[in-house]
Structure 1
Amino acid sequence: MLNRWEDIVEVPLPLPFALKEIKAYLFMGENGVTIVDTGLNIEQDFTVWESAMKELGLTWGDLDKIVLTHYHPDHYGLAGRMQQLAGGIPVYISQVDFQQAQLFWDRDSKMAQDLASAFRRHGLDESVVKQIPEHLASFIPWIEPHPNPTFLRAGSKIQLGDRTYKVIHTPGHADGHLSFYDSEREWLIGGDFLLPRITPNISMWPNCDKNPLQSYLKTLEKMKSLPVKRVFSSHGPIFENYQERIEQIRSHHEGRLKRMQDFVEMEGRVSATEVCDHVFGKDLSIHNIRFALSETLAHLEYLRNNQQLEVERAGKRYFYVPFR
């Protein structure tokens, strides 16, 4: 079902994992139509796009550009296929996130091995570690072919449909995540920066931001002064309680940091996997384990950088509260 707010059309796309759905957006314009985020390169999502375009009286030739908030498969996956169908139109993304798309999803990338090694050092059972390479590789067909990108810079302007938006760097969920702001209407196209019902996953990955939770909290602090009347997010309904939601998410992370630090202090010396099990539980799929442990590491690394925890680096990694 398509919903429309003035020139913006919301296109819900199904996902074959826990989130269930991503909201992509069509920006209608007199001189062309812009897509922001694409869904996965799976037939269910492609069929939804074709139905949506037929309902709106559009063809692939009516598209003028594709804009990606970040590199995660549910946002990036169909971009290359759509680019080809639309005659090679530009696909805009931050340079950092295009590089990270290659880091995670290039068939010659070593990310799967690096991630497995990192999880092993942090105490994940070998039977689970062995599943990581195959699990990551399973995403590759959902994002190929990669698009030929045009890079967007924070602080620049971009036309979405007939309106001009400011490009804002909103890292944390992804290192190069971009949001788009219409200052006249005070509308924010937020991707996964700010979600109405769940908290964006903040994960620490090998060869990426070394303190992503700090980056995200700085993003929240930077963005809270922006006057926003409506947020078009990627997961959940469009919402208007922008300032309140920023405060809720900031408070959520404060509570999670305290819970993790209290657990480490109580146990004395623990691995990140033990902290993850305590916070998220043990009965998780390989998909959810990957995100839960990476988010746990983001919080523990934030505490370590603030001198609230120390890490013992003899072989496997163990966290403990330093003596004061």
Structure 2
Amino acid sequence: MGAGSGPWTEPGAFPVAPGVHRVPLPLPNDGLHAVNVYAVESADGLVLIDSGWALQEARDLLESSLGSIGYGFEDIGRFLITHMHRDHYTLAVELRRMFGARIALGVGEQPNFDAVRGGSGEAQLAEIARWGAADLVEKLRGLYTRDNAEQAKATYELPDDWIPGAQDIEIGDRTLRAVPTPGHTRGHVVFADPAASLLFSGDHVLPHITPSIGFEPARAELPLGAYLDSLRLMRTLPDMRLLPAHGPVTDSVHTRVDELLLHHEERLAATEAVVREGAATAFEAANRLTWTRRGRAFDELDTFNRTLAVGETAAHLDVLVVRGELKSSTVDGVVEYVPLPGDQTA
């Protein structure tokens, strides 16, 4: 059956390569529906790449899925986490408390951990205000309560090991190469197994959707620029099978990387066009663009996804400024963009 004969969200433990199983875990009330956790067998114990969200439903399904291939939670020696988002990180923290497995995470996530564990959220709200989205700030402010801050601090316990950069990680007789791929988050890493021609891509390369860019607790200076560079980096590696966090296993990382690079060039052109039509802020530009594969209007999105949309628009606008196609200035605390003069007939 390989990666599974039904929908990729179907529960179970599906072999994708010798000694590697894909275990999809549920994401209730989330448009992504599920997250893939990969169980890698070795003589040194079981290694999980990503862990799932710390929900009872996900924990129970992970337990039964691992049980179907002869393992229990006590057999997990390490978690290798692609990035800090709750559906990748938080179940590892819960299981570590009970069974002691070590957690490794890219060192680039340290600023995000500091921001989350700091708890106020004011820096992130200020960033949203700079995008011209004052109404979203007011709607989101209730999320940054003292109780939520304390919960976040407890949930986001620090990893045991920070992955300091590109490095080899030995798992029995298997060698994984940790490769920093900032963009979706500033500390995102992928894990390559060139000998088996496998890339555990996390959210960096997804087969059917594009990851959100530009909205995180400690936002990088040019998140889309970093993401595009990280995509191009994948093109310098041998082509491998794509083992994503969301979606089915597919045959070629390079094919999907090319599609994502093209998508963002088209998105940059569309973003520049709405500025030339009069949108001055990231919020105004996001309102004029369409969203998701279904081409939904901005007003059709919920508050959280509107915030993601505005953050992603800001990320595209900032790349256009760096490329010399727009210029920006700050007016009353809000960043405004205007087109540079040039021939628009081409």
Whether TM exceeds 0.5 here: the answer is yes
1:139 to partner: Cα distance: 9.3
State the match for 2:341 in structure 1.
323
Residue aligning to 2:157? 146
Q: Which runs of 4+ in 1 moved over 4 A?
A: 136-143
Match of 1:173 in 2: 184
Over residues 92-147 of structure 1, what are the superposed CA-to-partner deviations in whole Å (9 max), with x where a residue is unaligned? 1112214413423x2x333x222222222322242x31222334666985871524
Instruction: Provide the residue aligned with 1:191 in structure 2.
Output: 202
What is the one-letter code of the residue matched to 1:310? Answer: K
Residue 94 of structure 2 corresponds to residue 85 of structure 1: no
State how 1:116-135 maps to structure 2 within 5 Å.
116-126=125-135, 128-135=136-143
CA–CA distance in structure 2, aligned partners of residues 98 and 120 of structure 1: 24
CA distance in 1, matches of 2:45, 2:114: 29
Alignment partners' CA distance in 2, 1:298 and 1:125: 18
The one of 229, 236, 259 equivalent to 2:247 is 236
Secondary structure (helix, strand or coil) at the match of 2:299 reads coil
Flag structure 1 segments of 5+ consecutive residues without an equivalent. Answer: none
Please list the CA deviations of residues 42-72 of structure 1 after superposition, one character each: whole Å capped at 9, or x if unmatched: 1111111121222222222211111101111
- 1:31 paired with 2:40, answer no
1:128-179 Cα offsets, whole Å, 9 max, x none, are 3122233466698587152442111323111346411111111111111111
Residues 90 and 149 in structure 1, CA contact (< 8 A), matched pair in contact too: yes
Give the distance between the partners of 2:124 and 2:213, measured in 1 at CA.
16
Give the structure 2 partner of residue 45 of structure 1.
Answer: 58
Contact kept, 8 Å, 1:154 with 1:168, in 2: the verdict is yes
What do the CA deviations read for 1:167-207 (whole angstroms, capped 9, x no partner)? 11111111111111112122111111111111122215564
Deviates more, 1:70-79 or 1:146-155: 146-155
Whether 1:308 and 2:329 are equivalent positions in the alignment is: no
1:51 is paired with a residue whose SS is helix
Structure 2 counterpart of 1:220, from 213, 218, 231 = 231
Which one-letter code corresponds to 2:318 in the other structure?
Answer: E
CA RMSD of aligned residues (A): 2.1
Q: Report which stretch shifted further, 89-98 or 298-307.
A: 89-98
Q: 1:109 aligns with which of 100, 104, 119?
A: 119
Cα distance between partner residues in 1 of 2:149 and 2:341: 44
Q: Deviations over 1:264-307 (max 9, x none)?
A: 0121x511111111113222112211211111111011111222
Q: Could you tell me which amino acid in structure 2 is paired with residue 18 of structure 1?
A: G
1:7 CA displacement: 0.7
In structure 2, distance between residues paired with 1:25 and 1:136: 33
Q: Which residue of 1 aligns with 2:316?
A: 299
Asked if 1:278 is matched to 2:288, the reply is yes
Greater mean alpha carbon deviation, residues 172-181 or residues 141-150: 141-150
> Identity of counterpart residues, as a percentage?
25
Read off the aligned partner of 1:201 and give its amino acid letter: S
User: How far does the alpha carbon of each residue in 1:243-275 deviate from its partner, in whole angstroms, 9 at most, with x for none?
Assistant: 2211110000000000010110121x5111111
State the distance in 1 between where 2:77 and 2:211 align.
30
State the TM-score, normalized to the length of structure 1.
Answer: 0.91
What TM-score, normalized to structure 2? 0.86
Distance between the aligned counterparts of 1:287 and 1:120, measured in 2? 15
| Unaligned stretches of 5+ residues in structure 2 | 1-11, 292-297
Query: Which position in structure 1 is the counterpart of 2:9?
Result: none
Change (3 A) 1:323 1:230: same
Q: 2:271 pairs with 253, 260, 275, which one?
A: 260
1:140 and 1:282 map into 2 onto residues whose CA distance is: 32
Q: Are 1:135 and 1:287, in contact at CA under 8 Å, matched by a contact in 2?
A: no
